[in-house]
């Protein structure tokens, strides 16, 4: 009994000592190389032991950037599975995500330019996001806590040239998306986004199975009982509705759900939502301002051109577009998919 | 913090400010690195800012300029982010003596903040009232302990000062003009709105409860000692927004709220509706929110001074046309839609106002004749509403 009391009072003191709003720099290193995540030429992203690559089945659109992801857990510690399909992470877990472009999307392996590497670090004050911006020589990435703007260009898969200003989010903006009930959280770390095969060096395997084999998770139910979010780009991975909902979930629901900043609108776009009004069907806007254009409802079944959702997805005006951050370009394929879903909706 | 470290970091700040030509990155960096108790200074001058400046997860900060007309953050060239200044998940933040201009979306948005002060802060769109202006000027939402004072809001395409889904609110000694709504309190509890001046907006002061929101309703709203005059601006809200339904020429409007007290205001020359008390039904929008109460109830209007020069109400809106046909150039000051909450005994109490004419549209019974005002049966009789001694004891 005494022992338990002792322990809980330590926890209590720890909680008290954490105030809002300290300087976050104490939790991050100034340069990416100092973490030693990669061996050899850092830009090649060959992970050291204990740095495991992964991907997610539905991606947040980030101006067509390609992304490499890695997870690092502290020694011998594990993720614990939660009933809502997410994980509890041990302290000092790090999630690594590098954003990059090929010069030409018709040859995606060549002429790679790394833009930034974002680290999500599970600090004693919770998760924090740190953006590292790659230098032109591609030899180092430097922490830019206030973000950065860079000229970027690529040739798209149809051979068209796209030029735009790539924006690295600042430390605060990371949390703007990665937030739940005022606390920062990882977005892509849900079982349903990880429950598919990944091409490892030693062959393909379901990622959750791999993580289990590596003793990285405890409490994971049988794989066959777990959900899978479809890859919205892959027509064989789900119906139009399933893929459109997957697109909307990963691109909108980090804000548009209960407990996140978009909740003020009453528009809830997470994949679990079933209430038609909350999903936006015939729902008038609340505080959209000119974001609504001259349209009256978020989704008008059968009428994508009357739906505010499409209007905001198609805009690049910062006062109109959705999501508010993280893109300068329109995700044409995503717009088409959601348009088709609304068109077919009765 | 160790004293010498703090001195060093302040010195560093000073040097970095001195040699930086990029005030945007500088301010943003300071907002990220701030320690509790810090004051961050917005220098004098007009500073061009391209992206939303954000303050997140901080406690006990003061953001202070030199004067609202001396320290100006201009977002006229904004390329990223929807707000000018964004404050989220904070405690005790004071914003003082600066202006946010021409943001692409909302000017200053505070969300999930306990203790937010706007003091001598101005938000403005400099091109006059335009549909392309951002929606809200001073915009605390889902906050508690909100104080807005000595502030100015100009040109918002929704509301200049908008407090939504918040609790424990004071809005005082502030000025709002050339907005669609001057001041709006929406789905909020315990709001004191006093000694403000709202003029030349579409509507002066609005108290709304809307469906399908996280905070379902509001109440204990006191609107007093305000001057609400000449709110006759054409409604320039983008279509689809609820505020787009506000008639040009509205002084004070209560929509679907309860427990609202409007007293000792001067409500002058608002051409269509001096004070409107209406249910959500008047919007003709459907709602599915089963927890929503679309009626007004427990509304008290007393000791106000009304004054309206003879003239036509707006003819751009159906209700305006209806009033013009029925009353010509002498539209009544207090207009009630007559939708009484069937579960509440006291709907609307009106007492001791100076120069106040009244009409009850009784839309429930007149709805069929909506477009035939000569046949409709309005009631100018206020005697049913002579109730409810003002609950001054509830004042804080």
Per-domain residue ranges for chain A? 21-225, 235-344
Instruction: For residue A264, give the nearest of B50, B158, B214 by CB distance.
Output: B214
Query: What pLDDT, on the 0 to 100 scale, is given for residue A138?
Result: 97
Contacts B58 to A, Cβ<8 Å: 20-21
Exposure string for B223-249, b = 16+ CB within 10 A, e = fewer:
bbbbbbbbbbbebbbbebbbbbbbbbb
CB A178, CB A127: distance < 8 Å:
yes
Find all residues with CB under 8 Å of B393, minimum gap 6, and list them: none
Average pLDDT rounded to a whole number, residues B139-144: 97
A53-57, A90-94, B209-213, B363-367: which has the minimum mean pLDDT? B363-367
Partner B contacted by A23 (CB < 8 A) = yes
Classify residue B167: in a domain, yes or no: yes
Q: CA A212, CA A121: separation in Å to the nearest integer?
A: 22
Whether this model's pTM surpasses 0.90: no
**Beta pairing class for B39-41 and A87-88:** unpaired
Query: What pLDDT, on the 0 to 100 scale, is given for residue B367?
Result: 60
Query: What pLDDT, on the 0 to 100 scale, is given for residue B393?
Result: 45
Instruction: For residue B28, give the nearest of A170, A266, A292 by CB distance.
Output: A170
CB B124, CB B153: distance < 8 Å:
yes
ipTM, 2 decimals? 0.85
**Beta pairing class for A112-123 and A126-134:** antiparallel
Share of chain B above pLDDT 70, in %: 90
- Backbone angle region of A228, left / alpha / beta, with phi > 0 → left and psi within -120 to 50 → alpha: beta
DSSP for B324-387?
HHHHTTB--SEEE---B-TT-S--EEEES-BT--EEE--HHHHGGGTT-TTT---B---GGG--
| pLDDT at B370 > cutoff 60 | no
Contact B241 A285 (CB under 8 A): yes
Q: CA B333, CA B262: separation in Å to the nearest integer?
A: 14
- Min Cα separation B60/chain A (Å): 9
Total of domains in chain B: 1
Exposure string for A199-212, b = 16+ CB within 10 A, e = fewer:
eeeeeeebbbebbe
| pLDDT at B39 > cutoff 50 | yes
Q: CA A88, CA B396: separation in Å to the nearest integer?
A: 45
Query: In 10 A of CB A37, how many CB atoms?
Result: 21
Average pLDDT rounded to a whole number, residues A105-120: 96
Contacts A329 to B, Cβ<8 Å: none
Contact A25 B33 (CB under 8 A): yes
Bigger pLDDT: A25 vs B174:
B174
Closest residue by Cα to residue B169 from B200, B153, B148: B148
Per-residue pLDDT of A186-196, as tens digits, reads 887 899 999 99
DSSP for B195-229?
S-EEESSSEEEEEE--SS-SS---EEEEEES-EEE
- Could you tell me the two tokens for A186? 């990882």
Contact A264 B141 (CB under 8 A): yes
Classify residue B79: in a domain, yes or no: no
Per-residue pLDDT of B69-102, as tens digits, reads 999 999 999 999 989 999 999 999 999 999 999 9
Query: What pLDDT, on the 0 to 100 scale, is given for residue B391?
Result: 52
Contact A318 B104 (CB under 8 A): yes
Query: What pLDDT, on the 0 to 100 scale, is given for residue B389?
Result: 56
Partner B contacted by A292 (CB < 8 A) = yes
Query: In 10 A of CB B182, how many CB atoms?
Result: 35
Mark which residues 50-79 of A lie under 8 Å from B by CB.
none
Q: CA B154, CA B178: separation in Å to the nearest integer?
A: 5
Query: What pLDDT, on the 0 to 100 scale, is given for residue A157?
Result: 93
Instruction: For residue A261, give the nearest of B59, B88, B239 by CB distance.
Output: B88
Partners of residue A127 on adjacent β-strands: A122
CB-defined contacts A:B, below 8 A: 165
Q: CA B76, CA A206: separation in Å to the nearest integer?
A: 50
Share of chain A above pLDDT 70, in %: 94
Classify residue B284: in a domain, yes or no: yes
Average pLDDT rounded to a whole number, residues A76-95: 93
Q: CA B326, CA B112: separation in Å to the nearest integer?
A: 47
Q: CA B205, CA B189: separation in Å to the nearest integer?
A: 16
- Min Cα separation B229/chain A (Å): 25
Contact B214 A278 (CB under 8 A): no
CA angle B287, B293, B297 (to 5 degrees): 140
* Distance spanning both ends of chain A, measured CA to CA: 61
| pLDDT at B18 > cutoff 90 | no
Helices B3-19/B23-33 angle, 10° precision: 160
Question: In A124-270, where do the E strands start and end?
Answer: 126-134, 141-143, 148-155, 161-168, 179-180, 183-184, 197-200, 203-206, 217-218
| pLDDT at A180 > cutoff 90 | no
Residue carrying the six token digits 């392996």: A109
Query: What pLDDT, on the 0 to 100 scale, is given for residue A5?
Result: 37
Instruction: For residue A293, give the nearest of B158, B238, B289 by CB distance.
Output: B238
Exposure string for B282-319, b = 16+ CB within 10 A, e = fewer:
bbebebebeebbbbbbbbbbbebebebeeebbbeebeb
Contacts B162 to A, Cβ<8 Å: 287
- Min Cα separation B354/chain A (Å): 35
Contact B240 A24 (CB under 8 A): no
Q: CA B50, CA A165: separation in Å to the nearest integer?
A: 12
Classify residue B143: in a domain, yes or no: yes
DSSP for B283-330?
GT-----TT---SBEEEEEES-EEE--SB---SSSHHHHHHHHHHTTB
- Could you tell me the two tokens for A295? 């349209």
Bigger pLDDT: B215 vs A17:
B215
- Could you tell me the two tokens for A73? 């857990």
* Domain assignment of residue B287, given as a range: 125-394
- Could you tell me the two tokens for B54? 């954000």
Partner B contacted by A286 (CB < 8 A) = yes
Number of continuous H segments (helices) and E segments (strands) in chain B: 4, 28
**C-alpha torsion A45→A48→A50→A55, nearest 10:** 20
DSSP structure class, residue A340: H
Mean pLDDT of chain B: 90
Average pLDDT rounded to a whole number, residues A44-73: 96
- Distance set, CA A27 to CA A92, A288, B25 (Å): 10, 37, 21
The three-state secondary structure class of B58 is coil
Partner B contacted by A220 (CB < 8 A) = no
The three-state secondary structure class of A244 is helix
| pLDDT at B229 > cutoff 50 | yes
Indicate if the alpha-carbon torsion angle B380, B315, B354, B252 is positive or negative. positive
Average pLDDT rounded to a whole number, residues B10-25: 57
Partners of residue B227 on adjacent β-strands: B197, B266
Classify residue B105: in a domain, yes or no: no
Contacts A168 to B, Cβ<8 Å: none
A256-260, A305-309, B29-33: which has the minimum mean pLDDT? A256-260
Q: CA B227, CA B206: separation in Å to the nearest integer?
A: 14
Q: Residue A172: closest CA among chain B residues belongs to which residue?
A: B56
Query: In 10 A of CB B258, how many CB atoms?
Result: 22
């Amino acid at each position: 009994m005494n022992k338990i009391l002792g322990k809980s009072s330590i926890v209590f003191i720890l909680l008290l000592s954490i105030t809002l709003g300290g300087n976050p720099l104490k939790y991050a290193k100034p340069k990416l190389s100092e973490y030693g995540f990669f061996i050899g030429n850092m830009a090649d992203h060959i992970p050291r032991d204990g740095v495991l690559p992964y991907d997610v089945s539905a991606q947040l659109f980030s101006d067509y950037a390609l992304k490499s992801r890695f997870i690092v857990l502290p020694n011998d510690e594990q993720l614990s599975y939660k009933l809502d399909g997410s994980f509890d992470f041990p302290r000092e877990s790090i999630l690594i995500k590098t954003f990059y472009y090929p010069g030409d999307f018709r040859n995606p392996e060549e002429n790679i330019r790394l833009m930034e590497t974002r680290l999500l670090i599970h600090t004693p004050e919770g998760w924090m996001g740190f953006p590292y911006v790659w230098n032109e020589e591609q030899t180092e990435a430097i922490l830019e806590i206030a973000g950065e703007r860079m000229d970027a260009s690529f040739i798209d898969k149809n051979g068209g040239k796209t030029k735009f200003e790539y924006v690295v989010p600042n430390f605060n903006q990371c949390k703007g998306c990665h937030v739940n009930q005022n606390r920062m959280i990882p977005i892509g770390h849900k079982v349903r986004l990880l429950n598919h095969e990944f091409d490892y060096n030693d062959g393909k395997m379901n990622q959750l199975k791999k993580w289990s084999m590596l003793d990285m998770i405890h409490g994971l139910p049988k794989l066959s009982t777990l959900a899978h979010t479809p890859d919205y780009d892959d027509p064989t991975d789900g119906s139009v509705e399933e893929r459109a909902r997957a697109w909307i979930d990963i691109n909108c629901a980090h804000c548009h759900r209960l407990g996140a900043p978009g909740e003020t609108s009453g528009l809830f776009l997470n994949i679990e939502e079933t209430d038609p009004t909350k999903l936006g069907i015939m729902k008038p806007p609340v505080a959209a301002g000119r974001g609504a254009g001259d349209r009256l409802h978020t989704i008008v079944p059968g009428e994508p051109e009357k739906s505010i959702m499409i209007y905001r997805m198609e805009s690049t005006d910062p006062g109109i577009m959705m999501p508010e951050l993280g893109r300068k370009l329109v995700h044409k394929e995503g717009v088409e998919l959601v348009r088709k879903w609304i068109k077919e909706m009765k | 913090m160790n004293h010498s470290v703090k001195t060093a970091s302040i010195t560093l700040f000073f040097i970095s400010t001195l040699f930086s030509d990029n005030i945007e990155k500088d301010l943003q960096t300071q907002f990220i690195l701030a320690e509790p108790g810090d004051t961050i200074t917005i220098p004098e001058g007009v500073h061009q800012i391209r992206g939303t400046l954000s303050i997140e997860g901080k406690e006990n900060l003061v953001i202070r300029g030199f004067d609202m007309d001396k320290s100006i953050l201009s977002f006229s060239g904004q390329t990223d982010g929807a707000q000018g200044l964004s404050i989220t998940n904070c405690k005790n933040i004071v914003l003082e003596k600066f202006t946010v201009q021409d943001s692409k979306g909302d000017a200053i948005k505070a969300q999930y903040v306990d203790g937010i002060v706007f003091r001598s802060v101005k938000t403005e769109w400099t091109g006059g009232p335009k549909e392309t202006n951002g929606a809200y000027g001073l915009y605390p939402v889902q906050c508690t302990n909100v104080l807005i004072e000595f502030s100015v809001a100009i040109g918002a395409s929704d509301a200049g000062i908008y407090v939504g889904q918040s609790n424990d609110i004071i809005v005082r000694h502030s000025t709002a003009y050339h907005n669609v709504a001057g001041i709006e309190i929406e789905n909020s509890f315990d709001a004191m709105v006093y000694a403000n001046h709202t003029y030349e907006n579409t509507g002066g002061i609005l108290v709304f409860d809307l469906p399908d929101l996280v905070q379902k309703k509001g109440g204990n709203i006191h609107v007093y000692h305000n001057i609400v005059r000449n709110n006759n601006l054409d409604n320039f809200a983008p279509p689809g927004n609820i505020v787009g339904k506000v008639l040009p020429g509205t002084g004070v409007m209560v929509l679907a709220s309860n427990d609202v007290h409007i007293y000792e205001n001067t409500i002058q020359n608002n051409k269509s509706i001096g004070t409107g008390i209406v249910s959500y039904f008047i919007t003709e929008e459907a709602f599915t929110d089963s927890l929503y109460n679309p009626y007004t109830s427990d509304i008290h209007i007393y000791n106000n001074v009304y004054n309206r020069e003879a003239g036509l109400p707006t003819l751009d809106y159906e209700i305006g046309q209806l009033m013009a046909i029925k009353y010509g150039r002498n539209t009544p000051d207090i207009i009630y839609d007559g939708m009484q909450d069937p579960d509440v005994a006291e709907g609307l109490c009106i007492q001791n106002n100076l120069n106040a004419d009244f009409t009850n549209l009784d839309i429930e019974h007149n709805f069929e004749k909506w477009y035939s005002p000569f046949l409709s049966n309005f009631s100018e009789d206020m005697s049913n509403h002579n109730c409810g001694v003002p609950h001054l004891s509830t004042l804080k």
